[in-house]
Amino acid sequence: MVTIVAIDGNGVAIVAVDGNGVALIAVNSLVPKVIDVKEAGPGGACSARKVFGMSQRFASLSLIALTAVAISACATKKKDLPPPPPVVGTVVPQTTAPVDNGSVPPPAMVGTTVIPGSAADFVAQAGADHVLFGYDSYELDEDARTILGKQAEWLARYPAVKVTVEGHADERGTREYNLALGDRRATAAKNFLAAQGVDTGRMSVISYGKERPAVDGADEAAWAQNRRAVTVVAAKP
Amino acid sequence: MFMRTLSLAFLALSLTPAQAVIRVDINSGIAQPLPIAVPGFVATAPGTTEAGSTADLGVRIAQVIANDLKSSGLFRPLDPAAYTTQVTPDDVMRPQYAAWRTVAAQALVTGNVTVNADGGLTIGCYAYDVFSAEELARQGFVTTAAGWRRAAHKCADLVYSRLTGETGYFDSRIVYVSETGPRTRRIKRLAVMDQDGAGHRFLTQGQNLVLTPRFAPNQQTLTYMSFEGNRPRVWLYTLGSGRQEAIGDFPNMSFAPRFSPDGSNLVFSMSVGGNTDIYRMDLGSRKLTRLTTQPGIDTAPSYSPDGSRIVFESDRGGTQQLYVMAADGSGQQRISFGEGRAATPVWSPRGDLIAFTRLGGGRFSIGVMKPDGSGERLLTNAYQDEGPTWSPNGRVILFFRSARGGPVNLWSVDLSGQNERRVATPLDGSDPAWSPLLP
């Protein structure tokens, strides 16, 4: 049974696997996700790291699936450990794109283990925890406004939850300017959420400039992913 | 008598007397570096210090001097293996000019090392014109044993200064950000080292993201930006004690700090609701004064060396460009034009130029322009050359270069655009700042 037992301050969901292992899944950042699987049992350290890209819309599903892969990979190397438990849980699938793609039926719902009100739930329900921007722009396009609108709906359902909106820039600007640009982006996202009724007292902004790219790359595809504002659900007090 | 001819573009600044002999023309990028011999300094008597024996120190001092001179691109130290001339204690002050002429050394640096009663050292430094058989300069340094490197740098500064007419810059330090780890989770630490890379040490341990360290004029304090507690703010670091202190409990991000030339004020940016302006803080009273009020991003402020003006970048006109204002914020005027953007301006310690980053065509270059915006010259061109800082004498510019998808390192380039070279650091490096000459 995979159960999310806690969300830490970095928006990292901690998934308890069994008595032997703990999988850490970063759920607050963008594709590609980094998954760390750390063995906590007495058999010694076993760690596997997977970096994978995926489309946002299936992020939640992939997350669980890859957790299973990572755990299996780890377990196969440690023959003295019991086999990993089967992964039976999944999350509510979400689609953020307009429903114009009849060829892909929505996956069946098999019950959820995502804790309502958690960061994982936020990502699942809003479709994404982040919105993207054009080069040197802090304008929210239609996709961004759609996602932020869903984020605002979720935040309306969980009025006790606080968020930090992180602003980021791609590498094609100077350091100081990009810090200011990241602030502009985070502020634009925050202001939109506020306009949708989210109390500004629940939101703080922080800019990382070009210091924390989501993707390590130096081409347009990477830059596009790195120009972003991420809504990070704060850890519960 | 051989006399190296010179083009005295900086005659007014020249310290050279009328009977001057060899000269190194620092403005000519194509000149051949001057062949110079720097044989090991002579131990006047066998002696030992906590830094090693005088004989050993004599060799190491000469190596430090030769390395300094070579790094300037203006000198070509001869390989000691290429000559057999032995320097006796008497030769230090009466060189065998004929022997040095045969190996085509045009200048010669000799010196001696003596242990003092207190365990410290006296280091004598002498410079000669080999072909005119004349002494150019001499200076003695009394130091602790551990201070031998600084004495060597000061000797190199003496030689550089005597042969170029410019102040030296070798006895100085560099603070920068050491980088390691994947770029999505980069670990950044403040680090400081001598100008030649010696004495490297980390000042922070990487728990917090740190950026843009800058020296105070007294070099005992740094200002920098830290994300400690997920609250990006301007901090001060006291080098002697290691004490770290946020300059204020601002609710908004503060960043891009620099000291005023007298050390009494900081200028930096603060972002409030997506709008970034430049502020000045009096470090005595901690009083904050807002210097810019225009909507837009105003950042990267840097004082003129006389403290009367501040150059900064602003996108108020649409894209990043350089502006100059009086230190009180009045008279803001755009100075950069031309293609692309101009960013991260830094006023030269001589006051005559402003170094900056030019962005255009998907590349970043390091350039210089006069404070009125005229005379722009680009010195480098690469995927990303960013964040210039000046040598204490305003002749060399240090910056950081990011290869596309690759490492980021410190580099330096002469004001002439020549002598572009990598500055070695243990890990990747960025955000360098050069100290003034040490006292």
Contacts of B384 in chain A (CB under 8 A): 171
Tokens of B248: 């204020």
Q: Give me chain A's average pLDDT, please.
A: 68
Q: Give me chain B's average pLDDT, please.
A: 93
Q: Residue B258 belongs to a domain with what CATH number?
A: 2.120.10.30
Min distance A50 CA to chain B CA atoms (Å): 14
DSSP string, B95-153: --HHHHHHTT-SEEEEEEEEE-TTS-EEEEEEEEETTTTEEEEEEEEEE-GGGHHHHHH
- Residue-wise pLDDT for B331-356, tens only, equals 999 999 988 999 999 999 999 999 99
Tokens of B57: 């120190």
Which domains occur in chain A, in start order?
A: 3-77 (no CATH), 119-233 (3.30.1330.60)
Tokens of A157: 């359902």
Q: What is the pLDDT of residue A95?
A: 39
Pick A40 or A142 by higher pLDDT. Answer: A142
Give the mean model confidence (pLDDT) for residues A171-193: 98
Same domain, B137 and B65: yes
- Percent of chain B predicted with pLDDT > 70: 94
Q: How many domains does chain B have?
A: 2
**CA-nearest residue of chain B to A164?**
B230
Query: Rounded to an integer, what distance in angstroms lies between the CA atom of residue A21 and that of residue A66?
Result: 15
Domain boundary among B127, B142, B164: B164
Q: What is the pLDDT of residue A110?
A: 54
Same domain, B104 and B143: yes
Does the residue B2 lie in any domain? no
Q: Which of B297, B357, B431 to mutate to test the interface with A (most CBs of A within 10 A)?
A: B297
- CB–CB of B405 and A217 under 8 A? yes
Domain boundary among B144, B164, B184: B164
- Residue-wise pLDDT for B256-283, tens only, equals 999 999 999 999 999 998 899 999 999 9
Contacts of B357 in chain A (CB under 8 A): 174
Q: Which of B418, B411, B396, B394 is nearest to B13 (CA)?
A: B394
**CA-nearest residue of chain B to A187?**
B274
Same domain, B200 and B91: no
Q: What is the pLDDT of residue B227?
A: 97
Contacts of B313 in chain A (CB under 8 A): 176-177
Q: What is the pLDDT of residue A102?
A: 40
Nearest CB to A175; choose among B211, B232, B320: B211
Give the mean model confidence (pLDDT) for residues B153-172: 97
Q: What is the pLDDT of residue B339?
A: 87
Query: Rounded to an integer, what distance in angstroms lies between the CA atom of residue B304 and that of residue A149?
Result: 48
* A201 contacts chain B (CB < 8 A): no
Rg (CA), chain A: 18
Same domain, B357 and B231: yes
Hey, which residues 112-171 in chain A have their CB within 8 Å of chain B?
A: 138, 164, 171
Tokens of B64: 């430090």
Give the mean model confidence (pLDDT) for residues A68-91: 38
The boundaries of the domain holding residue B284 are 173-434
Same domain, B103 and B208: no
Same domain, B268 and B299: yes
Does the residue B239 lie in any domain? yes
Does the residue B116 lie in any domain? yes
Identify whether A32 is preceded by a cis peptide bond (ω within 30 of 0). Answer: yes
* A215 contacts chain B (CB < 8 A): yes
- CB–CB of A218 and B297 under 8 A? no
- Residue-wise pLDDT for B81-117, tens only, equals 988 888 999 999 999 999 999 999 999 999 999 999 9
- CB–CB of B404 and A218 under 8 A? yes
Q: Residue B31 belongs to a domain with what CATH number?
A: 3.40.50.10070
Query: Rounded to an integer, what distance in angstroms lies between the CA atom of residue A171 and that of residue B402?
Result: 10
Q: Is the ipTM of this complex over 0.90?
A: yes
